[in-house]
Structure 1
Amino acid sequence: MKLVIGGATGFVGKELLKRALACPEITSIVTLDRRALVVEDLNKEKLTSIVLDDFEHYPTSVMEKIGNADACIWTVAVALTKSMSTPFPETKKVTYDYTVAGIKALSESNKTENPLRFIYFSGAAVDRDLTKEPVFMPEYSKLRAGVEIDLIEFAANSRGAVKVTCVRPGYIKGNRGSGYVEPQLPPGVPTVILEVCVAAVLKQCVEGIEMDPILNDDLERIGKEAMPKYYAAQ
């Protein structure tokens, strides 16, 4: 199968790529990033890395490389913490506009009869009911909800050509490099281990989407069941 990863240079994206390269069922991987990707994996011969300067426009050469993908994992967004210091128009562009352009390009480039599985990384606090006023960072929260709503609508209007799920992890625990200290989280904030989250998401790509949305508890359950398969080759 062919997998596209939007955002393979980040904390989650790197682990997704590493495990996808090790998965024998995934035979072709295309990554879309804004900076060059460094890969040392022995299976990198099945990888095509694309540096995309403008995630709103896909040249013909890029459309050809992402064409006929079976699945896409999309992690491109301005993270919650970074949004606090990023002008909102830029946050919206990266988080919303890039995502919508991405799913459209992938859908248009799929000339097969198989539906595209699009897995979108969202957040635990997202609520698609826009009549509710979010307690924390309402503008950002509504933006993320709007992305989910429009992705689901896009899939509904695709006549079965696209299937979407939005994964909503809480705080993802894992090794972010030397010197990083895990923060003290407020009570009630859900957490998930990076490897468990990645196993759950890869299962959606390879074996089919199970539900939407996939909440943190779902990621825990699905990921723990999938770990023996997607982390068998260490």
Structure 2
Amino acid sequence: MKLIVSGATGFVAKEIIRQSLSISEITSVVALARKPVSAPEKLGEGADPSKLRSIVVNDYNHYPEEVKKEFAGASACIRTVAITPAKSKMYDFEEVKRVCQTCTLDGFNSIYESGVSKPFRFLYMSGVAAERDQTKTPRFQPQYSLMRGDTENKVLALASELDGVEACCAKPGIITAPGEMMRYIAGTLVQLSVGIPSIGVVDVAKAMLDQVVNGFEKEPLMPEDLIRIAKKPSSS
């Protein structure tokens, strides 16, 4: 299968790419980013770096025909592009919405229009605080949380209109990484205060790859789902 990883230079995406190169079912990895992407260091057993194809776009709103040709025949896409809650305060909200929502839908449409393999699985990485119910007022960054939830709604609605397409939203809590103490502390505080478990970047990548390769178990994928799926024995 051909897998597209959108936002390929990001924290989670790098780990997705690293693991994907060792998964036998995945025969091609299209790393989509605004700058060139090379194979990560410390590849796993059986990794094949030749499967990686780096594709550069200047704007996640616009995909030239030569880029769309690289999407053709794809079986799945994991989209990780977003402005995080912490960084969102540094930008005008309309720009945050453009990156998180408009670019997501434009990218989804452009990939589908390229001629995907069916069934095609689109996995949108959101966050546990994203609120789909637009009548609610979330406690944490309400405008941002509602926008991310609305994006989830729009992704699922678009998938329902497209032939042979399945969509799912992954909603992790704090994502930790080995050696990054601040992420670990933040994850611990969130779990103690509101009961949302953190998840390591290796596990969240493993869980999302499992779902695009083997099919979505449920929608959405909440933190506890991602942790559970990550504990399953690898199929490859």
TM-score normalized with structure 2 length: 0.90
**Residue 48 (str. 1) matches residue 53 (str. 2):** yes
Shift of 1:180: 5.7
Shift of 1:110: 2.1
Q: How has the CA–CA distance of structure 1 residues 26 and 176 changed in structure 2, closer, same or farther, with 3 Å as cutoff?
A: farther
Q: How has the CA–CA distance of structure 1 residues 21 and 87 changed in structure 2, closer, same or farther, with 3 Å as cutoff?
A: same
Shift of 1:133: 1.0
CA deviations 1:179-200 (Å, max 9, x no partner) are: 8663342412421122221111
Question: Which one of 182, 185, 188 corresponds to residue 183 of structure 1?
Answer: 185
Q: Secondary structure at the residue paired with 2:231?
A: helix
- The answer for unaligned runs of 5 or more in structure 2 is none
CA distance in 1, matches of 2:183, 2:129: 23
Other-structure match for 1:22? 22
CA deviations 1:167-222 (Å, max 9, x no partner) are: 00000111376x86633424124211222211111111111111110000111111
Other-structure match for 1:158? 162
Q: How has the CA–CA distance of structure 1 residues 176 and 103 changed in structure 2, closer, same or farther, with 3 Å as cutoff?
A: farther
Other-structure match for 1:62? 67
- Residues 127, 171 of structure 2: 8 Å contact kept: yes
Question: Which one of 91, 111, 124 corresponds to residue 106 of structure 1?
Answer: 111
CA deviations 1:23-74 (Å, max 9, x no partner) are: 1110001011112223255622111101110111111100100111100000
CA distance in 1, matches of 2:129, 2:97: 18
- Residues 122, 165 of structure 2: 8 Å contact kept: yes
CA deviations 1:131-181 (Å, max 9, x no partner) are: 11111111101110111000010011114x21100000000111376x866
Question: Which one of 135, 141, 159 corresponds to residue 145 of structure 2?
Answer: 141
Q: Which moved more, 1:191-200 or 1:70-79?
A: 191-200
**Residue 130 (str. 1) matches residue 137 (str. 2):** no
CA distance in 2, matches of 1:156, 1:54: 26
Q: How has the CA–CA distance of structure 1 residues 129 and 3 changed in structure 2, closer, same or farther, with 3 Å as cutoff?
A: same
Q: Secondary structure at the residue paired with 2:131?
A: coil
Q: Secondary structure at the residue paired with 2:185?
A: coil
Identity %: 38
TM-score normalized with structure 1 length: 0.90
| RMSD, matched Cα | 1.8
- The answer for unaligned runs of 5 or more in structure 1 is none
Other-structure match for 1:220? 227
Aligned residues: 226
